[in-house]
């Protein structure tokens, strides 16, 4: 059997490619031999002598191990002669790479298994050129030598290309992509090279380019992308965003360059879409924080909402001084992030959809709290914030009813505040949901009222019980130059009186503002002058003082 393992053909094949690895096993002894390139790349011993192979399975990605075991077992159990599967294996750098693994079981003259041999092909090394655009792939960029490079490198992304795929389908989108690439290549000089990065992104190498030249080129690409003719003669207006990095006698490796460009492009796409930004440590810092916040938010959610807490801010009777209720405001602390505020973490939850789960927790906690306080302190309203997309979630109303039943809450004591009402794009659907919710006795408040020109439109279309006037209007009302703000508040209050809507004025920060606002006769006041949002024990102390 040694001839098989030490065959010259083995050495010849083993040496033939840097992305194909070969192996052979003597089934009777368990003696396995790998090609030298596999030994080097995967950091495995050149030979192993085991009945049951254990070296290789340890290299396989945990998510892929079952697929591998299933396939290889059917070969060892004699159900098939061929091993054929794709999985990820860890290389010497600790990175997983996709490989295609093929092998054949050979039998001796007695029909017994004798040799198992085959090869593993690295899939990431295979395609040098992208089929659709004809551009060299990112693997080519990874293996390009750019040490000592001077100039800039740009990562160009087509905005919302996924939507084009959804609207027109893959085939059509691919043709459009190829068209854009052709136009792009025509704009570039011969020494400037483009690589296809991923989906809708391209790496452009610009030797000896300054930042200024890079900005100019981006502007030209932007204008070019505005007029892309489709196969059927229509013009599509694409928006593009880009990140870039300036390199002088480059010492960074290709991986780090891509990481920086990709991170910066992600930042541009969510903060400055349609523009170009150069990599900076500030952007990197912001992106790293965002990723940490996202990660720790998920950990908290998976850990039974550990780190989430509700704070409470009182609603004061505008015709007296007593506390009539409160708004529940979400707070969160992660494992390392201790200073995140709702303006940071709520939009993240809204974007990744986790606001649905967290919103249910908020609803449940607020209702539980209301029933507890009502028993202790008598009549008391609690409001909580609900994002637009939460209302639209299937089963929202049912969940609301179940939860109020569970805690024995009187529905009329709960107020649901629709945050960012200016973002509502299907008011008709939302109006139906509001009607259903109000039919069951709950109250609805339109939050942040007065901001965004759509407010009045929303008031017309959405049935609501309360209007909350945005604090940014109110805070500085006592200072000079705020006559228009005052007029707006006055007219909102008048309008609400006519519509029999209650008005809550937020942002009452000091006595002067309090005096002015009380003069306008709204229903409730909320603001730092009375109390900042505070934790449950502090709020209870305030309620007790208030009751005495
Ligand atoms: P919002 O609903 O408009 O909440 C009022 C915000 O104004 C609160 O900020 C509150 O602390 C602040 N505020 C109250 N009185 C004053 C004042 O006198 N002066 C000033 N300058 N500010 C005042 P917070 O707690 O940081 O919440 C920010 C936003 O986060 C909320 O705005 C709301 O849109 C959102 N949010 C908070 N909790 C939740 C939640 O449970 N679910 C959802 N979907 N959104 C929430
Ligand atoms: Ca609110």
pLDDT, tens digit, 9 for 90 and up, residues 287-336? 999 999 999 999 999 999 999 999 999 999 999 999 999 999 999 999 99
- How much is the pLDDT for 452? 62
Q: How far is the CA of 344 from the centre of ligand 2 (A)?
A: 15
Residue 327 corresponds to which tokens in the numbers above?
């708004």
* Cα–Cα distance, 118 to 13 (Å, whole number): 11
Decide if pLDDT at 18 tops 80.
Answer: no
* Three state DSSP letters for 418-472: ECCHHHCCCHHHHHHHHHHHHHCCCEEEEEEECCCCCHHHHHHHCCCCEEEECHH
* Three state DSSP letters for 281-318: HHHHHHHHHHHHHHHHHHHHHHCCCCCEEEEEEEEEEC
Sign of torsion, CA 132 133 135 141?
negative
Mean pLDDT of 419-443: 89
- How much is the pLDDT for 128? 76
Q: How far is the CA of 420 from the centre of ligand 2 (A)?
A: 9
CA 499 from chain centre, in angstroms, equals 40
* Cα–Cα distance, 58 to 40 (Å, whole number): 16
Least confident of 112-121, 163-172, 217-226, 383-392: 163-172
Pairing of strands 20-26, 113-122: antiparallel
Decide if pLDDT at 548 tops 60.
Answer: no
Residue 533 corresponds to which tokens in the numbers above?
């949002």
Distances (CA, A) of 334 to 308, 347, 348, 410, 526: 9, 16, 14, 34, 28
* Cα–Cα distance, 380 to 370 (Å, whole number): 7
Distances (CA, A) of 527 to 27, 79, 514: 78, 74, 9
Decide if pLDDT at 459 tops 90.
Answer: no
Q: How far is the CA of 540 from the centre of ligand 1 (A)?
A: 20
Which residue lies with its CA nearest to atom 26 of ligand 1? 342
Give the atom of ligand 1 at the shortest distance from the alpha carbon of 310.
41
Q: How far is the CA of 343 from the centre of ligand 1 (A)?
A: 8
- How much is the pLDDT for 47? 77
- How much is the pLDDT for 235? 84
Q: How many Cβ atoms from other residues are within 10 Å of residue 411's Cβ?
A: 17
User: Which ligand is the nearest neighbour of the Cα of 312?
Assistant: 1
Decide if pLDDT at 26 tops 70.
Answer: yes
**Which residues 6+ apart lie within 8 Å of 124 measured at CB?**
97, 98, 139
Is 118 in contact with 71 (CB distance < 8 Å)?
A: no
Q: Which of 72, 70, 82 is nearest to 107 (CA)?
A: 82
Ligand 1 site, CB within 6 A = 313, 329-330, 341-343, 346, 355, 359, 362, 384-387, 417, 419, 447-448, 471, 475, 506-509, 526-528, 533
Mean pLDDT of 510-531: 96
Rounded percentage of the chain residues whose pLDDT exceeds 90:
64
Give the atom of ligand 1 at the shortest distance from the alpha carbon of 313.
14
Decide if pLDDT at 109 tops 60.
Answer: yes
Give 320's DSSP letter.
Answer: S
Least confident of 32-41, 381-390, 408-417, 499-508: 32-41
* pTM for this entry: 0.73
pLDDT tens for each residue of 233-256: 888 889 999 999 999 999 999 999
pLDDT bucket at 172, cuts 50 / 70 / 90: confident
Decide if pLDDT at 454 tops 80.
Answer: no
Q: How far is the CA of 529 from the centre of ligand 1 (A)?
A: 15
Instruction: Give the chain's largest Cα–Cα span.
Output: 104
* Three state DSSP letters for 372-394: HHHHHHCCCEEEEEECHHHHHCC
Residue of 329, 332, 415 to mutate, ligand 1, most atoms within 8 A of C-beta: 329
Which residue lies with its CA nearest to atom 3 of ligand 1? 448
Which residue lies with its CA nearest to atom 34 of ligand 1? 419
- How much is the pLDDT for 1? 55
């Amino acid at each position: 059997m040694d001839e098989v393992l030490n065959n010259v053909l083995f050495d010849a094949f083993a040496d033939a490619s840097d992305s194909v690895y070969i192996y052979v096993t003597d089934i009777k002894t368990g003696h396995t031999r790998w090609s030298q390139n596999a030994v080097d790349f995967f950091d495995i011993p050149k030979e192993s002598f085991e009945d049951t192979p254990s070296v290789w399975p340890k290299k396989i990605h945990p998510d892929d191990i079952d697929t591998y075991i299933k396939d290889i077992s059917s070969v060892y159990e004699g159900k098939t002669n061929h091993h054929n599967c794709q999985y990820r294996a860890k290389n010497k750098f600790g990175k997983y790479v996709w490989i295609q693994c093929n092998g054949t079981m050979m039998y001796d003259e007695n029909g017994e298994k004798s040799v198992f041999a085959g090869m593993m092909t690295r899939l990431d090394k295979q395609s040098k050129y992208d089929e659709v655009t004809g551009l060299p792939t990112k693997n080519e960029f990874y293996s390009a030598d750019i040490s000592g490079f001077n100039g800039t490198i740009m990562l160009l992304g087509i905005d919302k290309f996924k939507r084009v795929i959804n609207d027109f389908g893959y085939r059509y989108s691919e043709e459009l992509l190829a068209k854009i690439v052709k136009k792009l290549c025509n704009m570039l000089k011969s020494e400037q090279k483009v690589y296809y990065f991923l989906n809708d992104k391209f790496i452009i190498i610009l030797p000896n380019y300054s930042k200024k030249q890079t900005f100019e080129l981006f502007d030209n690409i932007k204008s070019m992308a505005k007029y892309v003719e489709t196969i059927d003669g229509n013009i599509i207006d694409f928006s593009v965003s880009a990140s870039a990095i300036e390199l002088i006698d480059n010492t960074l490796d290709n991986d780090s360059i891509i990481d920086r460009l990709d991170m910066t492009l992600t930042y541009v796409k969510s903060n400055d879409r349609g523009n170009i930004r150069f990599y900076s440590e500030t952007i990197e810092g912001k992106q790293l924080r965002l990723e940490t916040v996202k990660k720790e938010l998920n950990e908290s959610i998976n850990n039974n909402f550990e780190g989430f807490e509700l704070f409470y801010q009182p609603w004061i009777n505008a015709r007296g001084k007593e506390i009539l209720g409160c708004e529940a405001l979400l707070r969160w602390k992660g494992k390392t992030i201790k200073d995140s505020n709702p303006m940071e973490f709520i939009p993240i939850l809204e974007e990744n959809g986790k606001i649905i789960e967290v919103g249910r927790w908020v609803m449940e906690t607020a209702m539980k709290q209301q029933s507890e306080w009502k028993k202790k302190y008598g009549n008391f309203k609690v409001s909580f914030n609900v994002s637009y997309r939460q209302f639209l979630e299937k089963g929202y109303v049912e969940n609301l009813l179940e939860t109020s039943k569970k805690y024995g809450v009187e529905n009329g004591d709960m107020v649901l505040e629709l945050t960012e009402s200016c973002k509502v794009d299907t008011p008709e659907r939302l109006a139906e949901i509001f009607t259903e919710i109000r039919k069951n006795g709950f109250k609805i408040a339109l939050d942040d009222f007065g901001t965004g020109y759509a407010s009045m439109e929303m008031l017309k279309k959405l049935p609501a019980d309360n209007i909350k006037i945005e604090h940014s209007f109110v805070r500085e009302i006592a200072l000079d130059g705020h006559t228009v703000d005052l007029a707006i508040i006055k007219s909102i209050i008048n309008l609400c009186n006519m519509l029999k809507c209650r008005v809550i004025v937020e942002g009452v920060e000091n006595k002067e503002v309090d005096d002015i606002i009380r003069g306008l006769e709204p229903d409730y006041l909320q603001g730092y002058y009375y109390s900042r949002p505070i934790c449950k024990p502090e709020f209870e102390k305030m309620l007790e003082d208030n009751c005495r």
